[in-house]
Amino acid sequence: MRSTLLIAAFGLALTACNGDPEPPQYGPNPNLPEPERGLLPSMKIPRPAQWGNELPKVPEGFKIQPIATDLKIPRQTLALPNGDILVAEGSGGYAPSLRPKDIIAGFIKSLGKSAVKGGDRLTLLRDADGDGTYEMQGVFADRLNAPYGLAFVKGAIYVANQDSLVRFDYRDGQTQASGPPVKVADLPAVINHHWTKAMTASADGRFLYVGIGSNSNITERGMDVEEDRAMIWQIDPQTGAHKPYATGLRNPTALTIQPGTGQLWAVVNERDEIGPNLVPDYLTSVREGGFYGWPFSYWGQNVDPRAHPQDPAKVASAIRPDYALGSHVAALGVAFSSPAMGPDFADGVFVGEHGSWNRSVPVGYKVVFVPFRDGRPAGEPIDFVSGFLLDEGRTRGRPVGVTVDPRGALIVADDLSNTVWRVTKN
């Protein structure tokens, strides 16, 4: 009976919106239509397809190859000082459904996921002779709890599990952890509607920044469960002491530090269920002490009446993000480029877009490059790794984390085909 209801509701969800018109939503001044609300939001997710002999598409002058396959839900990657690559593998979250639409959305989302169980581990990849083939693939550490964020600071590897920040001491060239991880700090984990804990380290290594997503779409579980949520923590890696660094960020899914400036940047997944073209996910610099709107407003002072209680003073203080990426693209990875990537892609950021579910016409499912000028985003995003989405009904992969390694390669984790891709200049 439940399956029949789900299928019927699934069909209704798919027809809830026809066409999903796409006004320009890139850059600092996106086109924001009026909110749309109905019985069910638009819902559609492409089903998994196989790569076969095909590869993702990259710009002319570049090539792409898989450097690791048969992984267990690869999320984020980290380039170690010796060139080895760590891959965090896992899947978390245990939020109960509140409404019939939550059950329907959960069912639809499940159709676009890998059938593989998350590994709860770190895998190490090594290219010993530097020829671009990573001949070693082994488990560095296991028995973790949905690891996601990774950072290397002063001889230690830090891992943000869904419930804690832990540390592994590390010697150059080590292929396995020498012991169990040391807990640095607990992280908010009750309900875990948004479970991923993104992480990066400050340029001087004094602090770690950890992104903690909200426990709801728009406060439907009440404000009590949002304590310490929808924010970025600043953590002292030596003591575990922490404080809120910035708040009002619904789901900060990836963090990075801008070279040369030390400025923290984030990609953030915004709220759902007010239309296929609201609200744009975004890339933004993050101000210490800044408030970015969630749940009371979006894209600056655009009030969301669904948030209770309302807070006009917080709305008035909300910071407008720097750069819209498009609604529901689900940005889950961000990394600044370097001159090693070549002149056309030397100055800017790469963004991994996992892909939409809250639209009848899918968007995302690719890696884009956002060009910068004078330290700020400038211009439209450029497709850098694409070809994942075959058509509206099928996709061969879903990009998550992106990393630029010092040798001038872009590393892309794909949690649908369970592959790590490497893009280099020809």
CA 208 – CA 425 distance, rounded (Å):
32
pLDDT at 15: 37
Distance of CA 87 to the CA centre of its chain: 14
Contact of 310 with 373, CB cutoff 8 Å: no
- pTM comes to 0.94
15-55: pLDDT as tens digits: 344 446 566 689 999 999 999 987 677 788 899 999 999 99
238-295: pLDDT as tens digits: 999 999 999 999 999 999 999 999 999 999 999 999 999 999 999 999 999 999 999 9
Q: Please, which residues have CB within 8 angstroms of residue 115's CB and are 6 or more apart in sequence?
A: none
3-state DSSP assignment of residue 415: coil
**Tokens (6 digits) for 155:** 């001889």
Instruction: Return the ∠ at Cα 103 (arms to 98 and 106), rounded to 5°.
Output: 115
Instruction: Return the ∠ at Cα 176 (arms to 144 and 78), rounded to 5°.
Output: 70
**Domain parsing of the chain, residue ranges:** 2-425
Residue 301 in this model has a pLDDT that exceeds 90: yes
Amino acid at 124: L
Mean of all residue pLDDT scores within the chain: 93
**Tokens (6 digits) for 265:** 């940047």
Q: Which CATH class is domain 2-425?
A: mainly beta
